[in-house]
């Protein structure tokens, strides 16, 4: 495996010392290191397209390419700036893309990663971006090749990263100052829901915990929709559903996910769905992929939701506030509830056993029979 510190030092010698991106589970060791080392210039971006644009601006002021890190799920977010900003036919701006390759062909992975993994190389080719698959023996010559290409052609080059490429580093366990435990919070929420409510939950461990909690409580529901991929889009899925049903909609979001496409708050606020409860579980981090920080500690989500015309705003930081909220039936809609939680999860968390297609069918049938 590749030692992250050697990798970073080598990049520095090649003139690449500015990082931006969205963390990826498969490159956890790399992301952890750049996230925790204060000497490294690292901008954790709200989404991968933002990171491409940031890298472009950075280049314009110092003529040095940035390294943009991302999971291949984020390629979609990048396409627009890669084609209409950094492409050689537009402004021709070099940057090194370091892309975690989930769903690599022949390797078992989750359903949301399979198609993306299959087309990862093709998408790069379509964008005219040459690439290498990072090799633990020859990585130095690959970086040199990438750098020479960027110097000569003034355009992006990509490196694809397979599972188990980077060695673990000695990173101190990350923490925040909150006391509530996310899984317990979700348990209380589930205990207080019935078949009159539909839950739409976000990408990562939040959905996995809801699934586990339901099993534990023997309260499984076909009216849960787990947005396993399409990070940041859960609230628009929920909004789309809210207009077609009288049931109460609970959208359970994460701070990294919400920040990724935060314009969603404006759309929800301006259309005033009268059955919509937006619950933000805020641990100030991308906990599901290793706990790298988000911008949340600097953000007042409650003020933003209020400014976007949500009609009921609440902050919850302890058990009492959570219990009071769950007992309260006097909500106004759309409602926005922020629950601040510890940065932690269980190691032995499972994933839903049925396939995404099976879950969708169950959801449709259940709703059809309920209406
Ligand atoms: C477009 C895209 N980029 C990155 C990822 C990888 N990813 C999966 S979950 C996650 C973190 C989600 O963070 P947050 O919403 O704060 O929830 P938490 O993990 O803290 O519960 C990331 C970055 C992804 N699935 N899709």
Q: Which residue from 112, 123, 204, 338 has its CB within 8 A of the most atoms of ligand 1, so it is best to mutate?
A: 204
Radius of gyration of the chain (CA): 21
Same domain, 104 and 216: no
Q: What is the mean pLDDT of residues 152-170?
A: 96
Report yes or no on 177 lying in a domain. no
What's the CA-to-centroid distance between 153 and ligand 1, angstroms? 33
CB 30 within 8 A of CB 5: no
Given a cut of 80, is residue 172 above it in pLDDT?
A: no
Q: What is the mean pLDDT of residues 141-166?
A: 98
Same domain, 119 and 189: no
What's the CA-to-centroid distance between 25 and ligand 1, angstroms? 9
What's the CA-to-centroid distance between 229 and ligand 1, angstroms? 9
Let me know if 87 is exposed, middle or buried by CB neighbors in 10 A (0-12, 13-18, 19+).
Answer: middle
**Nearest 10 degrees: CA dihedral of 52, 54, 59, 64?**
-80
What residue owns the CA closest to ligand 1's atom 6?
24
Given a cut of 80, is residue 266 above it in pLDDT?
A: yes
Report yes or no on 174 lying in a domain. no
Per-residue confidence band for 7, with pLDDT thresholds at 50, 70 and 90: very high
Given a cut of 90, is residue 195 above it in pLDDT?
A: no
Same domain, 193 and 132: no
Q: State the pLDDT at residue 370.
A: 82
What's the CA-to-centroid distance between 283 and ligand 1, angstroms? 12
CB 345 within 8 A of CB 283: no
Q: Which residue from 25, 123, 201, 231 has its CB within 8 A of the most atoms of ligand 1, so it is best to mutate?
A: 231
Q: Which residue from 161, 186, 203, 229 has its CB within 8 A of the most atoms of ligand 1, so it is best to mutate?
A: 203
Query: What is the extent of the structural domain holding 132?
Result: 4-161
- Ligand 1 atom closest to the Cα of residue 77 is 1
Q: What is the 3-state secondary structure (H, E, C) of the chain?
A: CECHHHHHHHHHHCCCCEEEECCCCCCHHHHHHHHHCCCCEEEECCCHHHHHHHHHHHHHHHCCCCEEEEEHHHHHHHHHHHHHCCCCCCCCCCCEEEEECCCCCCCCCCHHHHHHHHHHHHHHHHCCCCEEECCCCCHHHHHHHHHHHHHHHCCCEEEEECCCCECCCCCCCCCCCCCECHHHHHHHHHHCCCCCEEEEECCCHHHHHHHHHHHHCCCCCCCEEECCCCCCCHHHHHHHHHCCCCCEEEEEEEHHHHHHCCCHHHHHHHHCCCCEEEEEEECCEEHHHCCEECHHHHCCHHHHHHHCCCCEEEEECCHHHHHHHHHCCCCCCCEEEEEEECCCCCCCCCCCCCCHHHHHHHHHHHHHHHC
Given a cut of 80, is residue 173 above it in pLDDT?
A: no
Report yes or no on 172 lying in a domain. no
Q: State the pLDDT at residue 250.
A: 98
Given a cut of 80, is residue 335 above it in pLDDT?
A: yes
What's the CA-to-centroid distance between 88 and ligand 1, angstroms? 31
Contacts of 11 (CB under 8 A, 6+ apart): 17, 67, 96, 143
CA distance 330 to 34: 45
pLDDT over 90, % of the chain = 93
What is the token pair recorded at 45?
Answer: 């971006």
- Write the CATH number for 157: 3.40.50.970
Report yes or no on 171 lying in a domain. no
Report yes or no on 175 lying in a domain. no
What residue owns the CA closest to ligand 1's atom 3?
74
Q: Give CA angle at 122 (121, 125), nearest 5°.
A: 90
Per-residue confidence band for 329, with pLDDT thresholds at 50, 70 and 90: confident
- Ligand 1 atom closest to the Cα of residue 229 is 25
CA distance 262 to 202: 14
Given a cut of 80, is residue 371 above it in pLDDT?
A: no
- Ligand 1 atom closest to the Cα of residue 205 is 21
- Strand pairing partners for 199? 224, 250
What's the CA-to-centroid distance between 22 and ligand 1, angstroms? 8
pLDDT over 70, % of the chain = 100
Per-residue pLDDT tens for 76-132?
999 999 999 999 999 999 999 999 999 999 999 999 999 999 999 999 999 999 999
Same domain, 156 and 196: no
Same domain, 234 and 295: yes
CB 133 within 8 A of CB 148: no
What residue owns the CA closest to ligand 1's atom 8?
204
Q: Which residue from 257, 299, 301, 341 has its CB within 8 A of the most atoms of ligand 1, so it is best to mutate?
A: 257
Per-residue pLDDT tens for 238-251?
999 999 999 999 99
Same domain, 81 and 199: no
Q: Last residue of some domain: 130, 161, 192?
A: 161
Same domain, 145 and 265: no
Q: Which residues line ligand 1 (CB under 6 A)?
A: 22-24, 71, 73-74, 77, 202-206, 231, 254-257, 283, 285-289, 294
Residue 255's Cβ-side half-sphere holds a number of Cα atoms within 13 Å equal to: 27
What's the CA-to-centroid distance between 235 and ligand 1, angstroms? 14
Report yes or no on 70 lying in a domain. yes
Same domain, 260 and 127: no
Same domain, 204 and 246: yes
Report yes or no on 235 lying in a domain. yes
Task: Count the domains in the chain.
Answer: 2
Contacts of 61 (CB under 8 A, 6+ apart): none
How many CB atoms are located within 10 Å of the residue 82 CB?
30
What's the CA-to-centroid distance between 24 and ligand 1, angstroms? 8
CB 88 within 8 A of CB 154: yes
Same domain, 208 and 79: no
Residue 38's Cβ-side half-sphere holds a number of Cα atoms within 13 Å equal to: 1
Q: Cis bond leading into 334, ω under 30°?
A: yes
Same domain, 285 and 198: yes
Report yes or no on 196 lying in a domain. yes
What's the CA-to-centroid distance between 85 and ligand 1, angstroms? 25
What's the CA-to-centroid distance between 355 and ligand 1, angstroms? 20
Per-residue confidence band for 10, with pLDDT thresholds at 50, 70 and 90: very high
CA distance 349 to 181: 14
Same domain, 288 and 344: yes
What's the CA-to-centroid distance between 31 and ligand 1, angstroms? 13
């Amino acid at each position: 495996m590749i030692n992250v510190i050697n990798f970073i030092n080598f990049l520095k010698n090649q003139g690449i010392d500015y990082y931006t991106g969205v963390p990826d589970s498969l490159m956890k060791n790399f992301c952890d290191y750049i996230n925790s080392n204060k000497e490294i210039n690292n901008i954790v971006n709200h989404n991968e397209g933002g990171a491409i644009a940031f890298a472009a601006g950075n280049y314009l002021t110092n003529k040095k390419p940035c390294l943009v890190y991302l999971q291949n799920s984020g390629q979609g977010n990048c396409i627009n700036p890669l084609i209409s900003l950094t492409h050689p036919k537009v402004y021709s701006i070099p940057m090194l893309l370091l892309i975690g390759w989930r769903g690599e062909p022949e390797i078992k992975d989750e359903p949301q990663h399979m198609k993306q993994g299959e087309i990862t190389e093709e998408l790069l080719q379509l964008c005219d971006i040459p690439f290498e698959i990072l090799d633990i023996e020859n990585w130095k010559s690959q970086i040199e090749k990438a750098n020479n290409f960027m110097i000569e052609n003034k355009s992006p080059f990509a490196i694809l990263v397979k599972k188990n490429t980077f060695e673990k580093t000695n990173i101190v366990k990350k923490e925040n100052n909150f006391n509530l435990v996310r899984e317990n919070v979700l348990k209380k929420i589930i205990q207080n829901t019935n078949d009159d409510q539909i839950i739409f939950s976000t990408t990562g461990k939040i959905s996995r915990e809801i699934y586990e909690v339901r099993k534990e409580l023997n309260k499984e529901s076909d009216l849960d929709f787990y947005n396993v991929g399409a990070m940041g889009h859960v609230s628009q899925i929920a909004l789309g559903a809210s207009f077609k049903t009288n049931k109460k909609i609970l959208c359970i979001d994460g701070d990294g996910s919400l920040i990724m496409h935060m314009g969603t708050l404006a759309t929800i606020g301006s259309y005033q769905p009268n059955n919509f409860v937006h619950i933000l579980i805020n641990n100030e981090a991308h906990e599901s992929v290793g706990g790298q920080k988000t911008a949340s500690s600097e953000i007042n989500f409650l003020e933003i939701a209020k400014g976007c015309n949500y009609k009921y705003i609440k902050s919850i930081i302890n058990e009492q506030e959570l219990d009071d909220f769950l007992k309260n039936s006097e909500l106004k809609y759309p409602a926005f509830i922020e629950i601040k939680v510890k940065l932690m999860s269980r190691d032995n968390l499972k994933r839903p056993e049925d396939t995404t297609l099976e879950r969708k069918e169950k959801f449709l049938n259940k709703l059809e029979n309920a209406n």
